[in-house]
């Protein structure tokens, strides 16, 4: 009954990760208390730069929310700092008078930012970049002030600089050395990095040593040793971190740079352990997350009395998280007498790769501009495999160029190697899951183990693992089943539906032997789409198999409200329409009215029960902004008004939108029509982009401006508006019939290739048949808002159920 | 666990609940998602995904599971458990159907 009392000092990534591991091994062993100085639950410190860059919200980076602590009955004290450990009575004391006894104590106090002892460093507007508080201070400062200096051209400094740039500040980076990130990069890579960041708008003051912070109460600038000065309203010091060892030192624990630990993470005192940035292991102090996780895992097993190999240090690597810059560095990177390097430097595409070799083993690497090899190289470093038999430059070549070596590499890894760094999933865990649960796709591995679920960077490794475990059998199942409920691929499914004349989702799943009789959230909408596509007139759309947005005909928001986007053909509206929209927005207290990227008006924050009323009062068709469907046709002003316009782009855009509106497609389809090659409607990044030229039109397809930036490719040139409609219809239907559900035209085009699509569409008979089929699909569609308003039963679905007693 | 302390609340006719679709009912300030699953049985759970508060009533219903519309967490409607690899749990409520009338115990 008597649980051991386990106290963790430090509520950060390393310590909490260790606790997670302990709970996984044995949730009943300890009564756990966690004490942390920051007033937050455990969050992902690595992603602070994303918060600063505006890519994530503070809430998004929380790793363990308060519920998690509650669920595991962890006694959590935030906003308190442990000030003393009494090793005699085995108790810890906090600055707020809390006294907690322990049987086992883990120190995970992390590290502190180094603050340069410059005169004036205590002025307002001088901060570090370490925690949420600093992040908030920078965001706050950016609202009031214009000019920032970041001291430190290392990883953290550059990420801070990029973040401040995103906050619209002018940013200068001051670095004491001549090369950026000199602890990770060789001079060539440093130069390339600096040039790239200069292009993004960061100024660099290299080889400058700061001397004093200038200003009265608030900072106004920085003076350097050479006498020069630079003005600033904000100074961020990002010159490094040092292990936070004060508590350990005062408590008589042996401390060098960090808290000294052995291979079991034990400190010099009995029952006191240390993990993370505060710990020093065999002279190594780590500031990166993977080693900290590795330490936590060893300690967790140790505390739970499970046999574990000792912690013997980590191979570390660095990736710079700055948008548009791919930088990777691992191990040794400077040329030396005993090392030799394999180098590739392509000045045209801005790619530089260098691999360091000693005794035929890879001991380090620097990659700039293309880091796709990083995982592979890292694995080769970790396994210490000899490269004697490999062709030198081939090490830097893409996996496909050397067939199976990727598999050989993963096969050589030990079971406890981490494959998915985001979720800490080891090779052993994945292999076991593949064997025991009969997994045969990356998707299944993801579902079962969480590997590749977060950033997806390890997907190629997971795929290699699958192949190395399953051998040739996986080649047979290489076709991706549409989801885990079936083994059928899209092509097989479509063929079966046609051949067996299946007409409902239920029938498909029953006849084709679905593992789950009613499928899942992935396959139900897909099957419903395929049925609609194959039997446009016969299949009755199945509302309950639609994703919420397509069922409600509005776009669900994070708080459960909806957004409403009425159709405005070609992005053209009228005073009367605008008045109606304004009246509706006022009447229903719509929190925000926004102009969308597709030239429409979006009413955001609408309550579910108001949707049918708002549609009725707007008296406009649905804009389908919520669906896998034809979205918008964006247009430029065109020849009606524009002095450069060669074609009437507005007319063309409206005609296209009127003809194809309401059409369901495998994924959303965005279109644009520009009246001349200046391309103001951005036709070149649309699924279908039409560009007016003198005497005709160019039709581009497969563009994307979102996740995968991709320029659209020229499908054809035509002379008349009628031909534009004909080619658009043919392309849309060919895409509808051949793409996977959820696959954008850009991904689909990448997969099948432009020439294959052109080969089909250049045949006028094919175009005629495709248009016939798309016309049939269009003929049965009606405006969904209108339909719901007319159907009492359907409108009632938007209301809550009444409580009758 | 003491059913004596719970009250039964009538929320309408079973035919107000289309198959495989959720509806929302508010009882004593609590928002509850009510589903009629394909077997014809009715299930009721708290209308709030433990992950990021997604409204479960709007999710896709498959068998005895609902998929949260916000981030696709899969939740068992019988015991409220979030399915692996995620974890968590939502409160479930007892449902009785008598003479086509649906009652929730709360």
Which among B26, B61, B70 is the nearest to A544, CB-wise?
A: B61
Q: Are strands A4-9 and A30-35 parallel, antiparallel or unpaired?
A: parallel
Among A454, A560, A562, A788, most B C-beta atoms within 10 A, so best to mutate, is A560
Cis peptide leading into B85, omega within 30 of 0? yes
Question: Could you say which architecture CATH assigns to the domain A113-242?
Answer: 3-Layer(bba) Sandwich (3.50)
End-to-end CA distance of chain A: 48
> Domain map of chain A by residue range?
4-110+244-304, 113-242, 490-546, 629-782
pTM above 0.90, yes or no: no
Q: How far is the C-alpha of A691 from the C-alpha of A670, rounded, in Å?
A: 14
In the A/B pair of chains, how many CB contacts fall below 8 A? 91
Which residues lie below 8 Å from residue A201, measured CB to CB, with a gap of 6+?
A: A165, A171
A629-782: which CATH number, 3.40.50.300, 3.90.1010.10, 3.30.413.10, 3.40.50.2300?
3.30.413.10
Which among B9, B69, B84 is the nearest to A548, CB-wise?
A: B69
Q: Are strands A234-237 and A147-151 parallel, antiparallel or unpaired?
A: parallel
Mean pLDDT of A552-564: 94
Q: How far is the C-alpha of A581 from the C-alpha of A570, rounded, in Å?
A: 17
**CB proximity under 8 Å: A 489-528 to B:** 516-521, 524-525
pLDDT in the model for residue A287:
81
Which chain B residues have a beta carbon less than 8 Å from that of A805?
Answer: 8-10
Which among B11, B65, B72 is the nearest to A803, CB-wise?
A: B11
pLDDT in the model for residue A336:
81
Mean pLDDT of A99-123: 94
Which among B52, B53, B67 is the nearest to A521, CB-wise?
A: B67
Q: Compute CA distances A795 → A546, A615, A805, B54, whole Å.
A: 17, 11, 24, 22
pLDDT in the model for residue A712:
96
In CATH terms, are A4-110+244-304 and A113-242 the same topology?
A: yes
A511 with A500: CB under 8 angstroms? Answer: yes
Query: Minimal CA–CA distance to A223: which of A240, A209, A233, A205?
Result: A209
pLDDT in the model for residue A400:
39
This model of the complex carries an ipTM of 0.91
Interchain proximity A800–B63, CB inside 8 Å:
no
Distance from CA of A706 to the nearest CA of B (A): 20
Interchain proximity A801–B24, CB inside 8 Å:
yes
A33, β-bridge pairs: A7, A75
Q: Are strands B8-13 and A75-77 parallel, antiparallel or unpaired?
A: unpaired
> Domain map of chain B by residue range?
8-105
Q: A204-257, pLDDT tens digit by residue?
A: 999 999 999 999 999 999 999 999 999 999 999 999 889 999 999 999 999 999
Q: Does A543 touch chain B (CB under 8 A)?
A: yes
CA B23 remoteness from chain centre: 9
b (16+ CB within 10 A) / e for A369-406: bbbebbbbbbbbbbbebebeeeeeeebbeebeeeeebb
Q: A566-615, pLDDT tens digit by residue?
A: 999 999 999 999 999 999 999 999 999 999 999 999 999 999 999 999 99
Handedness of CA A306, A308, A312, A316 (dihedral sign): negative
Q: A443-471, pLDDT tens digit by residue?
A: 778 777 878 765 556 777 888 888 888 76
Question: Could you say which architecture CATH assigns to the domain A4-110+244-304?
Answer: 3-Layer(bba) Sandwich (3.50)
The superfamily CATH assigns to domain B8-105 is Rieske [2Fe-2S] iron-sulphur domain (2.102.10.10)
Which chain A residues have a beta carbon less than 8 Å from that of B59?
Answer: 521, 548
Q: A389-434, pLDDT tens digit by residue?
A: 666 666 665 443 333 445 666 776 778 777 877 677 888 999 998 8
Q: Does A547 touch chain B (CB under 8 A)?
A: yes
Q: A464-496, pLDDT tens digit by residue?
A: 888 888 765 544 334 678 988 998 999 999 999
Q: At what angle do helices A745-752 and A754-761 cross, to 10 degrees?
A: 90
Q: How far is the C-alpha of A63 from the C-alpha of A46, rounded, in Å?
A: 11
């Amino acid at each position: 009954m008597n649980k051991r009392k386990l106290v963790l000092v430090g509520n950060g990534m390393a310590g909490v990760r260790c606790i997670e591991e302990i709970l996984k091994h044995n949730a009943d062993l300890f009564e756990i208390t966690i004490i942390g100085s920051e007033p937050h639950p455990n969050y992902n410190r690595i992603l602070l730069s994303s918060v600063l860059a505006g890519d994530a919200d503070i809430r998004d980076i929380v790793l363990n929310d308060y519920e998690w602590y509650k669920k595991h009955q962890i006694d959590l004290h935030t906003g308190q700092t442990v000030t003393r450990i009494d090793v005699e009575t085995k108790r810890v004391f906090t600055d707020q008078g809390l006294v907690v006894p322990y049987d086992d104590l883990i120190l995970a106090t992390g590290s502190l930012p180094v603050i340069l002892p410059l005169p004036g460093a205590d002025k307002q507007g001088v901060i570090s970049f370490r925690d949420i508080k600093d992040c908030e201070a920078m965001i706050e400062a950016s609202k009031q002030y214009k000019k920032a200096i970041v001291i430190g051209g290392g990883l953290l400094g550059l990420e801070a600089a990029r973040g401040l740039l995103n906050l619209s500040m002018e940013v200068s980076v001051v670095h004491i050395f001549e090369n950026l990130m000199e602890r990770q990069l060789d001079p060539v890579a440093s130069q390339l990095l600096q040039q790239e960041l200069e292009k993004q708008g960061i100024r660099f003051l290299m080889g400058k040593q700061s001397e004093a912070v200038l200003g009265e109460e608030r900072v106004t600038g920085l003076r350097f040793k050479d006498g020069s000065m630079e003005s600033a309203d904000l100074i961020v010091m990002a010159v490094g971190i040092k292990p936070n060892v004060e508590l350990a030192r005062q408590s008589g624990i042996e401390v060098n740079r960090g808290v000294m630990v052995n291979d079991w993470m034990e400190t010099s005192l009995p029952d006191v352990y240390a993990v993370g940035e505060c710990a020093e292991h065999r002279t190594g102090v780590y500031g990166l997350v993977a080693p900290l996780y590795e330490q936590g895992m060893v300690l967790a097993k140790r505390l739970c009395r499970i046999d574990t190999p000792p912690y013997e240090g980590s191979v570390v690597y660095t990736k710079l998280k700055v948008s548009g810059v791919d930088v990777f560095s691992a191990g040794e990177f400077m040329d030396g007498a005993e090392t030799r390097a394999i180098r590739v430097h392509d000045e045209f595409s801005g790619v530089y790769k260098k691999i360091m070799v000693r005794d035929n083993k890879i001991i380090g690497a620097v990659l700039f501009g293309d880091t796709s090899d990083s995982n592979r190289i890292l694995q080769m470093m970790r396994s210490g495999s000899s490269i004697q038999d490999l062709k030198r430059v081939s090490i830097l070549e893409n996996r496909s160029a050397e067939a199976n070596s990727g598999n050989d590499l993963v096969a050589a890894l030990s079971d406890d190697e981490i494959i998915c760094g985001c979720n800490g999933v080891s090779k052993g865990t994945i292999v076991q899951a593949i064997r025991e649960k009969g997994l045969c796709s990356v998707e299944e591995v993801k579902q079962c183990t969480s590997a590749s679920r977060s950033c997806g960077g390890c997907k190629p490794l997971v795929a290699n693992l699958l192949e190395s475990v399953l051998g040739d059998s996986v080649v047979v199942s290489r076709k991706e089943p549409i989801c885990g409920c079936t083994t059928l691929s899209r092509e097989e499914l479509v063929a079966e539906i046609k051949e067996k004349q299946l007409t409902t989702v239920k029938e498909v799943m029953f006849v084709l032997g679905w593992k789950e009789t009613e499928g899942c959230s992935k396959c139900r909408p897909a099957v419903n789409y395929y049925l609609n596509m194959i039997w446009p007139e016969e299949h009755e759309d199945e509302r309950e198999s639609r994703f919420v947005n397509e069922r409600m005909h509005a776009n669900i928001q994070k708080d459960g409200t909806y957004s409403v986007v009425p159709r405005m053909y070609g992005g053209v509206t009228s005073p009367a329409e605008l008045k109606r929209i304004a009246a509706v927005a006022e009447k229903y207290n719509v929190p925000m009215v926004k102009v969308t990227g597709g030239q429409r008006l979006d009413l955001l924050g609408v309550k579910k029960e108001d949707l049918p009323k708002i549609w009725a009062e707007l008296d406009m068709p649905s804009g389908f902004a919520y669906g896998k469907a034809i979205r918008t046709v964006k247009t430029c002003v065109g020849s009606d008004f524009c002095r450069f316009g060669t074609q009437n782009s507005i007319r063309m855009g409206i005609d296209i939108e009127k003809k194809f509106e309401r059409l369901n497609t495998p994924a959303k389809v965005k279109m644009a029509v520009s009246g001349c090659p200046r391309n103001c409607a951005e036709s070149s990044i649309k699924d279908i982009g039409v560009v007016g030229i003198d005497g005709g039109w160019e039709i581009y397809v497969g563009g994307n401006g979102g996740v995968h930036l991709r320029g659209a490719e020229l499908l054809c040139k035509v002379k008349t508006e009628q031909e534009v409609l004909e080619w658009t219809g043919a392309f849309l239907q060919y895409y509808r019939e051949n793409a996977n559900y959820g696959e954008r035209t850009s991904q689909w085009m990448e997969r099948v290739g432009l020439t294959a699509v052109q080969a089909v569409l250049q045949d006028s008979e094919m175009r005629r048949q495709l248009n016939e089929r798309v016309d049939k699909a269009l003929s049965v569609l009606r405006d969904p808002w209108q339909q719901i308003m007319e159907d009492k039963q359907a409108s009632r679905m938007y209301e809550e159920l009444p409580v009758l007693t | 666990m003491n059913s004596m302390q719970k009250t039964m609340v009538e929320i309408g006719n079973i035919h107000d609940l289309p198959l495989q679709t959720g509806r929302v009912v508010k009882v004593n300030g609590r928002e509850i998602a009510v589903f009629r699953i394909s077997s014809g049985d009715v299930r009721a759970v708290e209308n709030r995904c433990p992950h990021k508060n997604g409204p479960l009533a709007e999710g896709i219903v498959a068998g005895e599971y609902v998929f949260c519309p916000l981030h696709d967490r899969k939740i068992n409607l019988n015991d409220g458990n979030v399915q692996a690899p995620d974890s968590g749990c939502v409160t479930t409520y007892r449902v009785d159907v008598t003479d086509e009338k649906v009652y929730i115990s709360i």
